[in-house]
Structure 1
């Protein structure tokens, strides 16, 4: 069973170098191909690593297209993906091979991740459904802990993901209609519908998880747009008008709370940012833009 490795970079060469160094240091067996996709970084960097293939995009393509470019460049039985701010914390190649040998039904798996404090980080979640939009992200988190803490079906994140070649061939890589949100859920759900299972490999990996800098309002709006696209694609958004009504009703309650109680508990900047996201989403739902 052959193993390839892909990581992407956009102006994070210091982190990317740490990723490469740790991937090589903890490789207890051969990595047949190791590809780094640089997404047209503005910071200069020269590849100083042996046995690493550096592919530079001629323009900024974004994470999803860059990952697909990496998948096209790697032809191995297993493909390991690490974000530039993620890497293994222990020997991982032989144990990854062993896991997939012992679990032929698993098509995609993730390593168990830890954050900078050494605490467990989230590497997976239950397969998304409409409750995540009806309740909102915070309430949905409580709902999952209370009612769905042992899900029958999970999806794993690309920060430390391993895919079988057969899965990549069957689903055709990542769906490029998404931006960097939901691409991991989409490919897992596509694999599940091809008959594969999703798993967790008992190998520790680090994930800093700093995220892409942006206003909270923009991230919330992008979450709703991408989550709606995901649910509709997999026919998990039934009774559209009823669900839209429930979501808009909750958003209106949140908007009113932010602009009344929030005036005493939030700074003006935070309150205006939260208020904008709710008003924008209400408008988008009413106009049928999501």
Structure 2
């Protein structure tokens, strides 16, 4: 019986030195794997090397990962190996603004996002009908500031019970605790409705209006305990002018929010992002 050929993505980073690409390519060649696509980047500011390799082969993920460990240890690599046939599980969190949620659900149903949406969590009941129309489990956990830790534990239970790989905050308008952020390092994507690092925190469109900006934007970033300070994944901008009031800015800014968040989710699901300290390397 002929072995089934599968596709994999290898992501890795390590201190830059001669021979990394040669070693990785040799490892794959020795196992009969065929490199389909490769992209690399050397960051001269910190002497780190980053590479994404998409390849095909007949070995199992477990065997390849087990055998790659020795090479990874020799170069002190931070790495991950993923089977592209497996859709990452995701939990989407939302409050009362549903445009990003609606956009992600439509893109998913249209086959544009290679993810498995396993649950939607909200602190309001508003989007239960939308979730039901897509046949996705919906959990409403209202926020009581005196019991916020308990509410976050219920959210974490959903993430763990659904075996979800990452979380998307699609305009989830709550400040997360340090503990929650620590549990999801590199696995929680937020959309902030401004072009960070400008206009952090609440009411960024009003802040932008007061400053008379000529472009507004949206920023998708990984969540950290520092509010709106996480590594930036992607950004979108829209030109505006003096005639736009804060409400108008917010209305037109929603397009940028949807696009920036959808791109970030897609790149994360396709294993195109590597953390680089407080920044990211994104192989598009």
**TM superposition score normalised by structure 1:** 0.29
Q: Which protein has greater RCO, CA pairs closer than 8 Å, 6+ apart?
A: 1
Higher helix share: 1
Higher strand share: 2
